[in-house]
Structure 1
Amino acid sequence: MSSDPFLQALAPNHSLPNAVQWLHSTEGQYSGQCDIERGTGFLTKIATNLAGFPPGGKDVPVSVTINRMGETLTWTRDFGGHCTTSHLVYDANRNCVREKFGAISIWLRASLQNGVLRIEILRLSVFGVPLPAFALPRSNTREWQDAQGRFRFDVSANAPGLGLLIRYQGWLTPDHTMRGAG
């Protein structure tokens, strides 16, 4: 069985922090807490609703359930009762991850810098129609391990002309017995 799409997209011999490696190597459920900030404006609301992103909030309980079906990983994120599901696969042609949120597909490049997994947006399509490069959202998404050994995340997307679309940041720890995925 192949590994997590993000692990496949990283350069060989990568050395991720344990908490990041664990989350990207196992199926199961993780729980924690996060802060969610959403941009404002009519077009921003349309974009974030199309992707199924959660409403804003502070200290929101969050859980992430990761399941594998063949080559596809399904990540179900529950932000205090608001569920956002995405499907991730490795795109060997572009050596990146393709993540589908509802009507939106995003191609992501993963890189490791000083123990931090960084993820940037390479391409995006809405209802199968690609956005031109100048309209692509910019992301400063990062995953790392904190001093308590927890998985930390800071996910963000900013769109040219619109500003902030979404930012959610927080931490996760494994819940129960996890199943190896890789």
Structure 2
Amino acid sequence: MDPFGQAIAAQDLIVADVVRRFHDVADTAQYRGTATVERGRGWLVQLILRLAGFPPDQTDAPVMLTLTRTDTGACWQRDFDGHLTTSFLCYDPDSHAIVERLGPFKVTMGIHAAAGRLHVAVIGMRLGPLKLPRLFWPRSDSVEQAGADGRFQFDIAADLPLLGRLIRYHGSVAVAGDDASLSL
């Protein structure tokens, strides 16, 4: 399992089957689908997005998500029509939190489930070794769920206080057993 899968299992969260299967990675899994990326505006937002490695604005672009287990967690690589965004995630069993490293940023996330949907919230943030005060944490409104077609749907959004929208990307991918997925 990837770190999200570990947190789901440890907390006995009830999520849609496709969400559970998406995070049940033995070694490496690849998922294909489409995604729309909407970046926030302003020079400071653009600098933050560049440092974190996020893709440009795109509409219904091909996306491939590659999840690879590592000794300490997982590497997530998101290929948004040729633009790669890579992050490293680990699970903290004491707090049930997931920590994601994107460039110089470390984002600590907590999860909960409601109506079969997985909700993800930012509960901490670091820039390099510096622990950032809550005022500088992105506000996250992120959900993973089963779409009407049974595919894995994601809607990831982050807003910054005082600056507004940082990024939102949403779409769907096929998971193991669907024709458009490939598990390695």
Fold shared, TM-score > 0.5 on shorter chain: yes
**Structure 1 residue 176 displacement after superposition:** 4.9
C-alpha distance in 1, partners of 2:11/2:111? 12
What residue in structure 2 maps to residue 63 of structure 1? 64
C-alpha distance in 1, partners of 2:19/2:107? 21
**How big is the alpha-carbon RMSD for the aligned residues of Structure 1 and Structure 2?**
1.4
What residue in structure 2 maps to residue 9 of structure 1? 7
C-alpha distance in 2, partners of 1:51/1:19? 28
Quick check: 1:173 aligned with 2:174?
yes
| Unpaired runs of at least 5, structure 1 | none
| Unpaired runs of at least 5, structure 2 | none
**Structure 1 residue 9 displacement after superposition:** 2.4
Runs ≥4 residues deviating over 6 A: none
**Structure 1 residue 178 displacement after superposition:** 2.4
Query: Normalising by the residue count of structure 1, what TM-score does the alignment of the two structures yield?
Result: 0.92
C-alpha distance in 2, partners of 1:91/1:118? 17
Identity value in percent: 36
- Superposition map of 1:48-59 within 5 A: 48-59=49-60
What residue in structure 2 maps to residue 139 of structure 1? 140
Contact in 1 for aligned 2:89/2:98 (Cα 8 Å)? yes
Contact in 1 for aligned 2:2/2:69 (Cα 8 Å)? no
- Superposition map of 1:112-151 within 5 A: 112-151=113-152
Number of aligned residues: 177
C-alpha distance in 2, partners of 1:176/1:40? 34
Contact in 1 for aligned 2:2/2:23 (Cα 8 Å)? yes
**Structure 1 residue 67 displacement after superposition:** 0.6
What residue in structure 2 maps to residue 111 of structure 1? 112
Query: Normalising by the residue count of structure 2, what TM-score does the alignment of the two structures yield?
Result: 0.91
Contact in 1 for aligned 2:174/2:181 (Cα 8 Å)? no
Partner-residue secondary structure (3-state), 2:166: strand
Higher RCO (CA 8 Å, separation ≥ 6 residues): 1
